[in-house]
Amino acid sequence: MARLEVRKTYKLYIGGKFPRSESGRSYEVVSTGRSPKFLANAAQGSRKDIRDAVVAARGAVKGWSGATAYNRGQVLYRVGEILEGRREQFIAEVSASEGLTKPQATKIVDAAIDRWVWYAGWPDKLPQVLGNLNPVAGPYFDISAPEPTGVVGILAPQASSLLGLVSVIAPAIVSGNTVVVITSEDRPLPAISLGEVLATSDVPGGVVNIVTGRTAELAPWLASHADVNAIDLAGATELPWGELEAAAADTVKRVVRPAGDGADAVEPDWLEAPDLSRMTAFLETKTVWHPKGL
């Protein structure tokens, strides 16, 4: 007997829940390739969804940044485990979203899982690598250690729907930041599936919040939001990102610019091995002076 098709509803991921957009809007997502095919309806997030996501992210900062680095590493590794378990699903989604053959998509998904696991090893090592015992001219221990910046807004890469996404989310949350992500506009489906992975893997609700929708509509609200402490403009290559940077400057946010310059901004090759820069971008340095005694 023929089975009824069980279709998936792609919703937002905010505060550990999967709400529909407050606006009630949705938009059609189609596959990439010569003959685009309807894939699903995605929620078209609004500025109020961004606002709610920031509230959720702010609420999660204390618990996530307060967890021990060792614990954060374990939780992130657990995400890697569940990503691995959903490998086939992600291969199908990436293949459809990015117009790749199955072997190409497999390579991308494997790289994305490996990337996540690589970052999962970093939480307890960052303070060791970036922290320091500073030489000072006085009887003090002078210790510097990295601290998370707080709430990070992320414009996810437009082309690389999973590898690029993982490459911007993971480095931000490693150190204890929480994030609000605006996904790739045309390829949002793997991001929501990643949300499902996060929701089932001990990552506290609100640490990662994912909003799908029109990047040009949502980005200015995220960039100007005073309760966001930093913004990653990786997915703003097609937008006048200088204006977003200017809006972010009003509240002195840390800004990560897209690769390349001005109108020539491009997405980097996400397959290349990452360095520490996306982790260090969202850190503050805390320095403690402690009397040494005689």
Could you list the residues that contact another protein (CB under 8 A)? 50-51, 54, 58, 221, 224-228, 247, 250-251
Q: What is the CA radius of gyration of the chain?
A: 20
In the complex, what is the shortest distance from the CB of residue 24 to another protein, in angstroms, rounded to a whole number?
A: 14
Nearer to another protein, 8 or 48 (CB): 48
User: How would you class 210 by CB atoms within 10 Å of its CB: exposed for 0-12, middle for 13-18, buried for 19 or more?
Assistant: buried
In the complex, what is the shortest distance from the CB of residue 180 to another protein, in angstroms, rounded to a whole number?
A: 11
In the complex, what is the shortest distance from the CB of residue 225 to another protein, in angstroms, rounded to a whole number?
A: 4
Nearer to another protein, 220 or 274 (CB): 220
Nearer to another protein, 155 or 189 (CB): 155
Q: Residue 194's closest CA among 113, 290, 105? A: 113
Q: How far is CA 62 from the centre of its chain?
A: 18
Cα separation values, 117 from 26, 174, 192, Å: 33, 11, 19
Nearer to another protein, 100 or 151 (CB): 151
Nearer to another protein, 251 or 287 (CB): 251
In the complex, what is the shortest distance from the CB of residue 251 to another protein, in angstroms, rounded to a whole number?
A: 8
- Whether the Cβ atoms of residue 88 and residue 94 lie closer than 8 Å to each other: no
In the complex, what is the shortest distance from the CB of residue 227 to another protein, in angstroms, rounded to a whole number?
A: 3
Nearer to another protein, 64 or 221 (CB): 221
In the complex, what is the shortest distance from the CB of residue 139 to another protein, in angstroms, rounded to a whole number?
A: 34
In the complex, what is the shortest distance from the CB of residue 98 to another protein, in angstroms, rounded to a whole number?
A: 33
Give dist(CA 167, CA 278) in Å, integer: 9
- Whether the Cβ atoms of residue 79 and residue 116 lie closer than 8 Å to each other: yes
Structure tokens at 16: 């550990």
In the complex, what is the shortest distance from the CB of residue 165 to another protein, in angstroms, rounded to a whole number?
A: 24
- Whether the Cβ atoms of residue 73 and residue 122 lie closer than 8 Å to each other: yes
Nearer to another protein, 50 or 165 (CB): 50
- Which residue type, as a one-letter code, is found at position 32? T
Nearer to another protein, 58 or 78 (CB): 58
Give dist(CA 141, CA 293) in Å, integer: 10
Strand 230-232 relative to strand 38-43, pairing: unpaired
H or E stretch at 19: none
Give dist(CA 166, CA 270) in Å, integer: 10
- Whether the Cβ atoms of residue 11 and residue 18 lie closer than 8 Å to each other: yes
